[in-house]
Structure 1
């Protein structure tokens, strides 16, 4: 299938680790021009080198804290200046620590809300400033099936992801008249395949699950397996492509092995 993403200008936030890394490399294989926005500049630069080797047109790294709107505006300005606009934004930045809500603190709530929700608002706002005059674009936000099902030890995180789902639907309704499509991909448990896939600031820098726990998770899913970053990247490529998904907007797609089944 030809996604027709060659030479498209793509911005991926949190592109240095795990799902974001694999998304960057998937776009690279399509020949896209990629801007990686990541707070871990060193890890992002490693991914940029891999992306160039896999066929990306042009790749740049812009160190970015996506919770800071001024830094996000610089990210989008640099992507637009180097690659002639922004065709695709992937809001991938995310963070959590698994614990029961009664164990969390206001500082924790604030961090989870800022990284998982405020970042999406910041990046979407700055990208729309480029996409609306160009009369087109695709925004894909990485949400979570915790937003659709509710999950113990992910109360605040799941709430932010539910907010992302609603926000993206509203943005889709408001900006469809400009040819801008907005969708979400909801992973379930998605595990890096190698240690090289994560940086020191990633939530996966320390294992979140024991092998025994992962076996139990897989056994509880209809497909009997946990997700891998490539599963999410394939869905992102599809939704990003106007050639194959040009009539899809405002949708929430679960890529979770059947964890949640929403009619």
Structure 2
């Protein structure tokens, strides 16, 4: 199905690794022009794959999304090269699995900045570009930890819940401009292979996240009996980004988690 994304300008934050990489490749297959940020070496690998997959053009702009000036510079590069920004995917996220009593304020601030402040910076900058054109789509990657409450993800889950609420409000405020805002909540989603993540990824040391035995137990507990893969999330993101396929969908929080979360 042609989703009408050919030659559209798409910004994907955290586009170098795991879910971000597959999101980039999903847009590339639709012929979009893509701007990705963060780990330059890992992002360049993804950009190369995107070009082979059919992307019109894929550029890498090193950006710290917690720094508004850097975010603005990244979006300017997208506008200068592709004439605007049609789609933003707020994908950057980071966590370390710890019980709340094991964490401290320094850890809290890191989680808050990466998972929420980065989203604020990118969304505000995208809206400044999209509103004058009365068109645009924003998809933020949250987590089912935001909907269920998950041990060892207290602050992360809290920030992702903030993302859910924030995106609903932005959807209400900006629907009048033809801008749609939605959220995708993955469950446990693991890289296909070690080379799919960079050194800054939360998945760079798999055993720090889940052991093989733990992953097996997670899979058995899910209705679909399998762990999520990055392409599962990417398909939902690309769909929601398409005005042709999802043009009457906004303000929604969609769990893509093998049935872990079933919220009506």
Q: Which residue of 2 aligns with 1:29?
A: 29
Post-superposition CA distance 1:78-129 (Å, at most 9, x none): 1111111000000000000001000001000000000000000000000001
Pair 1:138 & 2:145 matched = no
The alpha carbon displacement at 1:59 in A equals: 0.9
CA deviation string 1:123-163 (max 9, x = no partner)? 00000010001110000000000000000000000000000
Query: Post-superposition, which runs of at least 4 consecutive aligned residues in structure 1 deviate over 2 A?
Result: none
**TM-score (ref. length: structure 1):** 0.99
Residue number in structure 2 paired with 1:69: 68
Aligned positions of 1:85-100 closer than 5 A: 85-100=84-99
- Counterpart for residue 204 of structure 1: 203
Unaligned runs of 5+ in 2: none
State the superposition RMSD in angstroms. Answer: 0.5
Q: In 2, distance between residues paired with 1:88 and 1:81?
A: 15
Shift of 1:41: 0.8
Does 2:220 match 1:219? yes
TM-score, with normalisation over the residues of structure 2?
0.99
Question: Partner of 1:256 in structure 2?
Answer: 257
Q: CA deviation at 1:2?
A: 1.7
State the distance in 2 between where 1:255 and 1:88 align.
20
Stretches of structure 1 lacking an aligned partner (at least 5 in a row): none
Partners in 2 of 1:43 and 1:151 — Cα distance? 29
Structure-to-structure mapping, 1:5-24, within 5 angstroms = 5-24=5-24
Matches within 5 A, 1:1-263: 1-38=1-38, 40-207=39-206, 208-263=209-264
